[in-house]
Structure formats: C-alpha cells, structure tokens
Amino acid sequence: MDADIVCVGFGPATAGFLTALSKQLVNPDGTPAVESAVMPGMPPQVLCYERADDIGFGVSGVVTRGRGLRAAFPDLDPRQIPMAAPVTEEKVVYLLDPIGASRRSWTLRSADACIRAFGGLLPFQNEAVELPWSPSFLHKTGGLVLSMGQFMQWVGAQIQSTGAVQIWPGTPVAQALIEDHQVLGVRLLDQGVDKQGKPGEGFMPGMDIHAALTVVGDGPVGPIGQQLDAQFGLPEGHQVRDWAVGMKFVVDLPANSSLKPGTVLHTFGFPEPEIFGFFYVHPDRVASLGIFVPSWFDTPMRTAYRYLQHWMLHPYLWRHLQGGKLRSWGAKTLGESGRRGEPHLIGDGYARIGEGSGSTNVLTGSGVDEAWTTGTQLAESVLELLKAKKPFTRQHLEETYLKRRRASWVEAEGRIAEKSRDGFQRGVVRGMLGMALAGLTNGRLSLNGEPVPPYQRIPTIEQYYRGRIPEGEIQRLRKECAIKGVSLHGALMQRCGWPAIPYDGQLLVSHQDALLLGGKVQAPAGYADHVVFLYPELCERCGTKICIELCSGQAIAPGQGGVPAFDREKCVHCGACYWNCTQPTPGNPERMNIAFRAGTGGLHSAEN
C-alpha cells in the first residue's frame, strides 16, 4: 500500500505531530491545502499505526508544564479532559525508613539520625520531611495533572474529527523498510503465526506500507527505533545506557480524603534511596501514584511491584491511602539518557520524535511536553516541505526539522539537563547534589560519573547479600522458589527485614490479582512472542535471572534448564526486561540477551 506519511506509535510525540499536521492539510472549504503524491487531487494520505489495543492504553500518570499542549490548544480548559486538573500544590518530600530494611549509606543513616534527633526544629512528621524549599526547575507551576490514557483518547478524538489522518490501534509495526540508507516505509506484523513466528492457520504476512516519510515515535524501547539505531549507529559520543521503569497505580482515594485535585507530591529516600515516587491527585478523589526504579539501582532485586507496595505503606503516604481502592495499574520504561541518548534524528525518508529521539528532560523529570513539542516541530517542517514540493531528504529535513529543534527550548533545556544525573553513577547523595548543581547553574556545573550499561552495575545475588544472608541459605531459597515456580526476591527481601504485604483485597493485592484486575492485561492469539531470549546458553549460566525478578507482569518465570519461560498473556509491554538483562550479547556489549520486538496486547485500560 502507498501513503504519503506513515507514523509508528501513537504516544504524545505523534499526537503533537498529528494535531499540528491535521489542522493544515485541508482548507476551510474542504479543498486540499497541499496535494498527495500517491492520490493526486487529494490531501496527503497520513497513516498512524499503534501497537496497543486502543489509542489511550499507554501508561503514565503525568504532571506537565504543558507549554507545548497549551500552544496547540490555546483555549484549553482542563475540565474538557477527563481526569485533568490544574496543578494547585507541589511538595518534595524526603521519606525516612520506618522499617529499617532499606540499604542506606552511612551518610543517609547519619542524616536520618539527625532528623530524628532534631525533628522538633524541622517539618518532620509521619517519618517524612517536607522540604521547605525546592528548586524552580522542579516546579510545574501553571501546569496540569493528566491521565495519559484519558488525554490520548481526548486528543485522538480531536485529530480523527478532522478526517485528515487515520489512526490504527492494535496494529504493530514490525520493521522499517530500508534500502540504500533510505527508509521507504514500514512492514506491519505477521498474523496467524505461532509463538516462534512460524506461519499457521490463517497466516497473513504483514503488509508493506510505502511512504515518502516515516515518522518514528515509538517511545524509549520501540523496535523501529532499535532497528534504526542498529542500522545507522548513534552519533559520536552518544549512548543509551540510563533507564528507569515507572510503575503506577490509579487509586480511588478514601471518602474522607482531604487531598485537593492538582496536588503533586514527589518523594525520595524510601523504599530504597534510589527509588523516586510520585503522587498526583485528579478530580473526583482519584490519584495516580507510583515509583521509578532506575538502572543505576545497583541490586539484582529490582522488583517494582513489591517496592511500590512498601512505598504506599510508608506512614506519610498511607494516611492518604488507607481505605482506598485500586482501579488500574501499569508499568512502562523511561529512556533516561536524554540528550546524550539522542539518535540520528533524521535521514532520507525518516524523522524521529519523542522520547526515543532523546527528548525527555532528566533534570526536570518531564517527557510529555518535550515529546509533544518535537512532534509539533516536525509537523511544521513537513508542511513547509510539502508546500515547497521538496522531498523528505536528509538535507531538507535538516534545514527544517533539525533547525527548528536545535533552536527550541527542548534543545536548550535538554543541554542543561545532559549531565545533571551523572552523579547518580556513584551514589544517591552525590546524584542529588549533582542535579541541584546542574539545575542551579543552568548546566554549567555538574558532578561527573560515566554511565555504564546496566549489566555492568548489577552484582550477583550472592555478592549483593554477602554478610547478610549465607550463600548456602541463598542456594536453598533459590531451589525452593524454583520448585514453586516463583521469583526469588520475595523470600530474600523478607529475609532482610522487609515485612510481608498485608493484603486487603482492595488496594494491597497480590501481583497475580493485579494482573487479573478487570481483565486489563490481554494478548490476542496469532502473533509471535515479542520477548525473546536470544542466546539460551547465556540464560543457563546467568546467576541473577534478573528478568524474572523484575518482570512487571510476572510474565517471565523460571523455565526448564535455566532458560526463563515467557507468557505473553501477562506481559504489560513495559520493556524493562530488555535493558535490565545482566548478560551482553557476544560481539555487542551495548546489546543485552533479551530482544523486545513488536507485539500486540498488553494493558487494557485508558485510566493510566
């Protein structure tokens, strides 16, 4: 099939692109403002393929300054968007460890002891300190609290109502079509195949869509972005090594909740010092809350689900949550390399936008506004080229999109943020100081630390627990868990003082129950597995089996002969297994032993 423009993924970046583009393809009298090359006399044919089952099934509770969004919708009234609220109050809160199980450094322990000793002089209550001051670069004053799922549905409806573009959910793109360094379009995923991709009954090979421009907005772990990086490499000195997995719950707050819509809380310090938390309040007593587990969290126990529950049980948060009910949940990877992870943004026949193009600002913790704005910049450039009847060559995209992006606030702020998190490579306290330094000096100063691939950071389970759990006991627990077919982290965390989670069937539910909640994780039949263990022999020798421990959906479980088993029906498509794997592939130390390919299904909730 032929189109003029084909887009991969419908996230905020592509939404920004299509919002700006769709408004200007057709004149008010219905005639084409610019003409299609594949359907003469018609406006350009623009197609967008999204792998999730609907256009609002992304995951991320969001607070955003919304500069790009407000520029696109100058008359925006947040009440038009379900679950949206203007930001009313922002707090940054340091959480102490009320249990004594977290792995605090000597510095943090001393700080905690001082806070407890001189608590009367500080705003210290409920085992937490609300910082009396926070730097302005963290503020989202004048911004919005959004449910990403609801916002994407709202904006998708606006785009589709123009009739100028088509958005196809439930349609994963398998690969870009590349010939002689030129991207010629995309190929959709094969259907009617078995888990290994072998054709079966009802086989339908993925259709080829040829287009003059392919817009790649498939997010931080998107397969098309990965393919382009493998094909064209990264610019000199760039690397994609910093990541985080964000896991969130959407909660009905208890009836007596005093939290105002638009309240924004950011936490640090607990359950582990490296884990940051967020708590955003929507209208009608609903909140989005969760944690980020970063790649520089040097432990093989990277279970976001268990840590999220301990975080919620912290007295500072639990007083707001007790009596609440879980509505929905999800997890998603964040690309945290920012500007340093920027790939080649353009080439003959393609342009990259959004988080996969390195737009996320790691200093301000902001990705949506930046992603949206890069999409808008590309749309303006595409319109300029269409009107001038110039082809989408590298040179023309450089003179338009690249020029706009380099001159914009996304670039200027991305540069300030570029080295702001390097301090975290050598500890949390250093990391926080480095962020403050970079933020307060506009990026002129920062604390250094060379990002290394996550697998180089993770000790083995035996190394990590040395001095706390004897090796023999680890072996015994490992065997017991393997026999039961469960991950090891629960047993090890409990052994180190983390209490059992007091399940209440409402808000604190088992990981399995969360997966079953409302049938919100689904996997249509007839597609190949999208998570693949590339070299099974590496898995056999792997001591951490971190893919099992961290899996956000319990979709990776102990398997035969030491090779994990993948169950697509439980996968929430967070992509965390892709970058967390502890084994590099032979011949490519930047590539881990798990392939994360195009796939359907995943979360079935627009509340996220």
Footprint of ligand SF4 (CB under 6 A): 531, 533, 538-539, 542, 544-547, 551-553, 555-556, 564, 571-577, 581-583, 593-594
Nearer to ligand FAD (CB atom), residue 43 or residue 277: 277
Smallest gap, in angstroms, from Cβ of residue 240 to ligand SF4?
A: 17
Window 56-85: residues binding ligand FAD (CB under 6 A): 58-64
Instruction: Give the three-state DSSP class for 310.
Output: helix
Nearer to ligand FAD (CB atom), residue 461 or residue 521: 521
As a residue count, the chain comes to 608
Whether omega before 294 lies within 30 degrees of 0, making that bond cis, reads no
- d(CA 367, CA 375) in angstroms, rounded, equals 12
Nearer to ligand SF4 (CB atom), residue 413 or residue 529: 529
If you search the block for the tokens 């583009």, which residue do you land on? 21
- d(CA 241, CA 291) in angstroms, rounded, equals 20
The one of ligand FAD, ligand SF4, none whose footprint includes residue 446, by CB under 5 to 8 A per kind, is none
The one of ligand FAD, ligand SF4, none whose footprint includes residue 572, by CB under 5 to 8 A per kind, is ligand SF4
Query: Of the listed pieces 194-202, 364-372, 445-453, 517-525, which binds ligand FAD according to CB under 6 A?
Result: 364-372
The answer to whether 332 contacts ligand FAD (rule: CB under 6 A) is: yes
Q: Which of 515, 608, 575, 57 is nearest to 289 (CA)?
A: 608
What DSSP designation does 159 have? Answer: H
- Give me the amino acid identity at 492: L
Question: Which position among 82, 185, 222, 358 is part of the footprint of ligand FAD (CB under 6 A)?
Answer: 222
Tokens encoding 126: 């409920």
Question: Which position among 6, 8, 26, 493 is part of the footprint of ligand FAD (CB under 6 A)?
Answer: 8
Nearer to ligand FAD (CB atom), residue 248 or residue 320: 248
Instruction: Give the three-state DSSP class for 325.
Output: strand
Query: Of the listed pieces 44-52, 193-201, 296-304, 413-421, which binds ligand FAD according to CB under 6 A?
Result: 44-52
Window 223-252: residues binding ligand FAD (CB under 6 A): 223-224, 246, 248
Nearer to ligand FAD (CB atom), residue 542 or residue 550: 550
Nearer to ligand SF4 (CB atom), residue 112 or residue 549: 549
Question: Which position among 371, 378, 397, 493 is part of the footprint of ligand FAD (CB under 6 A)?
Answer: 371
- d(CA 602, CA 308) in angstroms, rounded, equals 20
Q: Are 306 and 171 in contact (CB under 8 A)?
A: no
Instruction: Give the three-state DSSP class for 547.
Output: helix
CA–CA–CA angle 21, 24, 29 (5° rounding): 150
From residue 335, alpha-carbon distances to 130, 247, 291, 298, 385 in Å are: 28, 14, 15, 18, 30
Nearer to ligand FAD (CB atom), residue 14 or residue 45: 14
If you search the block for the tokens 């390919």, which residue do you land on? 597
Question: Which position among 17, 49, 154, 297 is part of the footprint of ligand FAD (CB under 6 A)?
Answer: 49
From residue 424, alpha-carbon distances to 278, 415, 419, 436 in Å are: 19, 18, 10, 12
Smallest gap, in angstroms, from Cβ of residue 118 to ligand FAD?
A: 33
**Count of alpha carbons within 13 Å of 530, Cβ hemisphere only?**
35
Question: Which position among 82, 262, 269, 290 is part of the footprint of ligand FAD (CB under 6 A)?
Answer: 290
User: By CB neighbour count within 10 A (0-12 exposed, 13-18 middle, 19+ buried), where does 594 fall?
Assistant: buried
Nearer to ligand FAD (CB atom), residue 43 or residue 219: 219
- d(CA 349, CA 1) in angstroms, rounded, equals 16
How many residues bind to ligand FAD according to rule CB under 6 A?
Answer: 41
Nearer to ligand SF4 (CB atom), residue 308 or residue 576: 576
Residue ranges in contact with ligand FAD by CB under 6 A: 8-14, 49-52, 58-64, 172-173, 217-219, 222-224, 246, 248, 290, 332, 334, 354-356, 360, 366-369, 371, 598
